[in-house]
C-alpha cells in the first residue's frame, strides 16, 4: 500500500478527482486530499461544476515524508492555484528531489512546469498544451510516464490514469483486480 497526497482547491475537475481517489483506494492505497489554504479556510472544496468535496486536512498539516506520491487533479482554477501556491510548489520539488512519484493530469501539468520538474515526455489537456508550452507533449497516449513523472490528458482518462498508478505503486495483481472489477477493459 502506498500513501498518496492530492492537494485540491476550488475549481478542481470533479470527474478527475473522484475517479482517481476511487480507483486508488480500490487498489489498496491510502489517499489523502488536502486543501490549499491560501484560497480558502474550510475543508469543503467546490469543484468546477459545483460539486462539493470534503478534504481530509489542510495542506499546511502535510509532511512530505509521510507520502509516496503527490498527485494533482485538473480543473483550470485548481491548476492555477496549484501552479501559484508557494507550499504546493515546495512540496512538488521535495517529492521530486526525494525521487518520489509525481502525477498530474489535465491543466494541472502547469504546476509541474512551474516547479521545473516536467520531463521530456508528458501529456495534458489538449487546450492546456499551448499554456504549458513545453517540448515533449504527446497526444497519442492516455497516460505518459517519464521516470517518476506520470501525466494524463483529462476527465475521460482519469480511470485509466488511476489504474496505471495502482500498477506502479501496488503491483500488477491489484491493477488487474481493479481493472476487472470496474470493467475497465478499455484501459491499456
Catalytic residue ranges: 106
Answer for the pair 100, 69: CB distance below 8 angstroms, yes or no: yes
- C-alpha to C-alpha distance for 44 and 72, rounded to whole angstroms: 18
- C-alpha to C-alpha distance for 177 and 47, rounded to whole angstroms: 30
- Phi and psi of 17, rounded to 5°? -60, -50
Q: What share of the chain is helix, strand, coil (3-state, %, to 5)?
A: 45, 20, 35
- C-alpha to C-alpha distance for 175 and 23, rounded to whole angstroms: 9
Query: Who's near 175: CB < 8 A, 6+ residues apart?
Result: 27, 163, 164, 166, 167
Amino acid at each position: 500500500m502506498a500513501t498518496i497526497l492530492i492537494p485540491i482547491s476550488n475549481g478542481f475537475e470533479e470527474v478527475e478527482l473522484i475517479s482517481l481517489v476511487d480507483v486508488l483506494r480500490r487498489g489498496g492505497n491510502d489517499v489523502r486530499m488536502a486543501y490549499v489554504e491560501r484560497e480558502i479556510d474550510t475543508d469543503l472544496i467546490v469543484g468546477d461544476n459545483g460539486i462539493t468535496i470534503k478534504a481530509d486536512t489542510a495542506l499546511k498539516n502535510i509532511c512530505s515524508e509521510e507520502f509516496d506520491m503527490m498527485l494533482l487533479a485538473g480543473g483550470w482554477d485548481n491548476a492555477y492555484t496549484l501552479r501559484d501556491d508557494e507550499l504546493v510548489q515546495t512540496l512538488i520539488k521535495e517529492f521530486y528531489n526525494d525521487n518520489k512519484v509525481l502525477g498530474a493530469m489535465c491543466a494541472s501539468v502547469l504546476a509541474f512546469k512551474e516547479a521545473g520538474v516536467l520531463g521530456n515526455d508528458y501529456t495534458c489537456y489538449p487546450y492546456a498544451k499551448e499554456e504549458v508550452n513545453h517540448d515533449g507533449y504527446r497526444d497519442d497516449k492516455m497516460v505518459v510516464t517519464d521516470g517518476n513523472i506520470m501525466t494524463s490528458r483529462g476527465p475521460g482518462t482519469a480511470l485509466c490514469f488511476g489504474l496505471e498508478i495502482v500498477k506502479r505503486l501496488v503491483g500488477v495483481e491489484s491493477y488487474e483486480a481493479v481493472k476487472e472489477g470496474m470493467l475497465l477493459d478499455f484501459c491499456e
